[in-house]
Amino acid sequence: MESTPQAQIVYQRPRSLASTPTSYCPGCTHGVAHRLVAEVLDEMELRERTIGVAPVGCSVFAYKFFDFDFVEAAHGRAPAMATGIKRLLPDRVVFTYQGDGDLASIGMAEIMHAAGRGENITVIFINNAIFGMTGGQMAPTTLPGQKTTSSPTGRDVEQMGYPLHMSEILSTLDGAGYVVRRSLHDPKNIRMAKKAIRLAFETQVRGLGFSMVELLSTCSTNWGMTPLDSLRWLEERMIPVYPIQDFKVVQALAELRL
């Protein structure tokens, strides 16, 4: 007896993502990061009580792509704005989505003190080693020797200093509950990134302190590479400088079985 083939949905837009055409460049990993956040919020059934804080940079329009409440911060100030919201609404889930210029350059004070206070917020940190929105200038995370429009002969560490390793720095603070680095360059790492994002939101829901997932990401347009070459460059050049690692996982999380 023949069985009737049944249509089965295996892939669809998460409820937490809005039906908005992307404004990100081909090859950019912002879309992957957005989707992972949305999938996690759907799985944890948090959409209706989540408030996002968008940064200044390419993801300034993050609020268009997520289908829940959002605010748009000044450059670097997202952790302060998130603090204001979380303190008023402690039972809501509040997260910031910030790039490397926003978080590691102009927003250094705000991110350090949010982590230091153990502010019970989640930070999604996109590290693509460059300022994307303004057209490819040097970021604090730009690699030594990396050419950008403001380091045209390559980042000379004698003149321009060294890359900042934000996950390593923030993980030293007592207020941090969960600080890890992941990458978005291949399916395995994307799955690992999703699990980390889940744990970051679990950190917040359980009141275990500041949580951050650093996501190594690509910027094909400003790196001047094809999307495929960008993924290779991330793997070969960025990961040696920014190792994929758990830097801080509080005991209660380490014991968590999902």
Q: Which residues bind other proteins (CB under 8 A)?
A: 18, 47-51, 53-54, 60-61, 63, 66-74, 77, 80-85, 87-89, 92, 109-110, 112-113
CB 135 within 8 A of CB 226: no
3-state secondary structure of 223: helix
- CA–CA distance, 195 with 185 (Å, rounded to integer): 15
Cα distances (angstroms) measured from residue 58 to each of 7, 31, 131? 38, 11, 9
Give the nearest distance from C-beta 23 to other proteins in angstroms. Answer: 10
Give the nearest distance from C-beta 181 to other proteins in angstroms. Answer: 24
Give the nearest distance from C-beta 37 to other proteins in angstroms. Answer: 15
* CB neighbours of residue 145 within 10 Å: 12
Cα distances (angstroms) measured from residue 22 to each of 18, 127, 232? 10, 20, 23
Give the nearest distance from C-beta 39 to other proteins in angstroms. Answer: 17
Give the nearest distance from C-beta 74 to other proteins in angstroms. Answer: 5
Helix crossing, 187-205 with 30-43: angle to 10°? 50
Smallest CA-to-CA distance from 27 within 244, 217, 191, 243 is with 217
Pick 73 or 138: Cβ nearer other proteins: 73
142: phi then psi, degrees, rounded to nearest 5: -60, 135
Give the nearest distance from C-beta 131 to other proteins in angstroms. Answer: 17
Pick 93 or 244: Cβ nearer other proteins: 93
